[in-house]
Structure 1
Amino acid sequence: MAEITAAAVKELRERTGAGMMDCKKALAENQGEMEASVDWLRAKGLAAAAKKAGRTAAEGLVGVAVEGTRGAVVEVNSETDFVAKNEQFQNFVREVAKLALTSGGDIDALGAAPFPGGGTVAEALTESIAKIGENQSLRRTAVVEVTKGAVVSYVHNAAAPGLGKIGVLVALKSEALAETLQALGKQLAMHIAAANPLALDAASLSPVLIERERGIAIEKAKESGKPANIVEKMVEGGLAKFRKDNALLSQLFVMDNKTPIADVVAAAGKDAGATIELAEFVRFQIGEGIEKKESDFAAEVAAASGVKAEPVS
């Protein structure tokens, strides 16, 4: 077998835009022959896959999977919403969500996990990019688990069972009956999907986020022209409201808009005759936090043709 050098891998990557592991495999399959390796990558559709990596992928699907008292959620992005309706893409996200159950919430471990049918999740993703023709990315994953109780999932704007635009996992610790926990968990998950809490309780809110809100509140209060002592009270009042509105346990239940979530859980436990603790939740919304690239079509066409685009007046 021919020796595969780092220089050869680098050259093949530069010529084809394919990933490093794919280039290594191509060279190994073709006894180190460069031209044959280029053709091998092109035949596999892998030469084009990496060239799509510069495109912004902010659409796609969130997938959830639950097994026993453990649940996992993944976000797999694509360039357009059209791909989310693609059966091959849906099957990929569904399988990755199942595999995420044993990944411990580690995105790198998930990417390296064996994928059904051969290869790794990362390699299957590369193949999916080549077949579908759009950039895709395995962005994030999370796992929640309880020793006794239930993990309940919910998907909003479902494209297929367990796949949608928003995915939620709710972990409930309790000795209550499974039916009780499933019903409560589903209601809580639907609330979380709609209300988008930032943390379980006020104490868990990010200190950085609180300081940012404090700065905003100070600027708003100063504009009122009130004395300093009044401004301070206005700021603290604003922060108290922010904590209440963004911590799950203090949010008002969307079903009646008057009962705090903590009271909803307590009442369910009382009815069930067993303590219920809302231990953890995870909410993924497709594309959140991704800056979508705004393209200037005229400028792109002009650049491609070598003509300077004139501004439109």
Structure 2
Amino acid sequence: MAITAAMVKELREMTGAGMMDCKKALNETAGDMDAAVEFLRKNGQAKAEKKAGRIAAEGLCAVVLKDDQTAAVVEVNSETDFVAKNATFQEFVDAVAKQAVESDAADMDAFMAEPWNEDTSKTVNDALVGKVAVIGENLKIRRFEKVVASNGCVVSYVHGGGRIGVIVEADTAVVNDAVKEALTNIAMQIAALNPKYVSREEIPAEHIAHEKEILLAQIMNDPKESQKPEKVIKGMIEGRVNKELKEVCLVDQVYVKAEDGKQTVAKYLEQVSKEVGTPVTVKKFVRFETGEGIEKKEEDFAAEVAAQLK
């Protein structure tokens, strides 16, 4: 059967694969379109396996709100920032986020094994493998988290074009524009200052005890500070611990939009609560930042070129 340009174009539009790859697939399958798609999928999987060892530390975070009570955030990684700006990759990340907000999966393994919402004949992992073949880089769905508010609402915020994704869950008897705006401000705070906890009550006692041990050791190793009275040393330790906690606890942080430069997030929430006539408290937050915790490969392009010349 003669392979026409129209057939190649149709297959390319169906799969997103390269023109020559589509032509080869049609030739190998005698022009059978379905068989050609399957051929490309199998070939794409082989390519994906070769790429799987490469470090994927770029990419995007995306957040989807299903309603006022349900949201999900995902991180999907690519090898390069160039691909992260690609429309095909961005559409895939959005589709993964939509998958996550509907998912009941408890972990990544279960999530990757789920039927893909856009084509239930595939799994999420199959969809990922197919996208690797189309884009030509190692891609990874690194993590997801779904948040369902039990007594209030959720809001979201995405910073830096997808570099950071935040969900805030709040307890409140009133869900209106004023509450959502205030919580979005809190989400922006979380994106900017990266707190680790909502409040001090969440911090394990052993963590605080450990920090005090470290501070005491630092003081005792200082010739001048170690000579101070025990009571003074204890006060120094408490002061330094409190300073650290103000940095890592959301409600203790100075609110980024505070007009006086002093108002804490806790005081801001008190103000909002008075204005809307009901308590508004942050119950939980999730913050994903693209590539955090991934060791990126340092490229030495001069050495790479030299190696290729040899």
Query: TM bucket by the smaller chain?
Result: 0.7 to 0.9
Q: Report % sequence identity.
A: 42
Aligned to 2:72: 72
Q: Is 1:156 aligned with 2:159?
A: yes
Aligned to 1:251: 253
* CA pair 291-67 structure 1, distance change in 2 beyond 3 A: same
Aligned to 1:86: 86
Aligned to 1:18: none
| Secondary structure, aligned partner of 1:67 | strand
Letter paired with 2:86: N
| Residues 179 and 276, structure 2, Cα contact 8 Å, conserved in 1 | no
Q: Is 1:53 aligned with 2:57?
A: no
Aligned to 1:225: 224
Letter paired with 1:169: I
Once the 2 structures are TM-superposed, how far is the Cα of residue 147 of structure 1 from its aligned partner? 2.6
* CA pair 247-42 structure 1, distance change in 2 beyond 3 A: closer
| Secondary structure, aligned partner of 1:142 | strand
Q: Distance in 2 between matches of 1:134 and 1:215?
A: 46
Q: Distance in 2 between matches of 1:74 and 1:113?
A: 15
Once the 2 structures are TM-superposed, how far is the Cα of residue 293 of structure 1 from its aligned partner? 1.7
| Residues 44 and 129, structure 2, Cα contact 8 Å, conserved in 1 | no
- Taking structure 2 as the reference length, the TM-score comes to 0.77
1:121-200 aligned within 5 A: 121-158=124-161, 164-200=162-198
Across the two proteins, how many residue pairs are aligned to each other?
264
Q: Deviation string for 1:195-243 (max 9, x for gaps)?
A: 1101111132356754664455345433262226244432332111111
1:92-131 aligned within 5 A: 92-101=92-101, 102-104=103-105, 106-115=107-116, 116-117=118-119, 118-131=121-134
Aligned to 1:240: 242
Aligned to 1:8: none
List runs of 5+ in structure 1 lacking aligned partners: 1-38, 159-163, 308-313
* CA pair 252-123 structure 1, distance change in 2 beyond 3 A: same
When the two chains are superposed, the root-mean-square deviation of aligned CA atoms in Å is 2.5
Letter paired with 1:194: A
Q: Distance in 2 between matches of 1:211 and 1:292?
A: 33
Q: Deviation string for 1:70-116 (max 9, x for gaps)?
A: 11101111111111111111111111111112235522222122211
Letter paired with 1:172: A
Once the 2 structures are TM-superposed, how far is the Cα of residue 42 of structure 1 from its aligned partner? 8.3
List runs of 5+ in structure 2 lacking aligned partners: 1-37
Aligned to 1:260: 264
- Give the stretch that moved more between structures: 190-199 or 295-304: 295-304
| Secondary structure, aligned partner of 1:269 | helix
- Give the stretch that moved more between structures: 114-123 or 40-49: 40-49
Letter paired with 1:103: D
Q: Distance in 1 between matches of 2:183 and 2:202?
A: 21
Q: Deviation string for 1:246-286 (max 9, x for gaps)?
A: 10111110111311111211211111111212111111110
Q: Distance in 1 between matches of 2:143 and 2:80?
A: 18
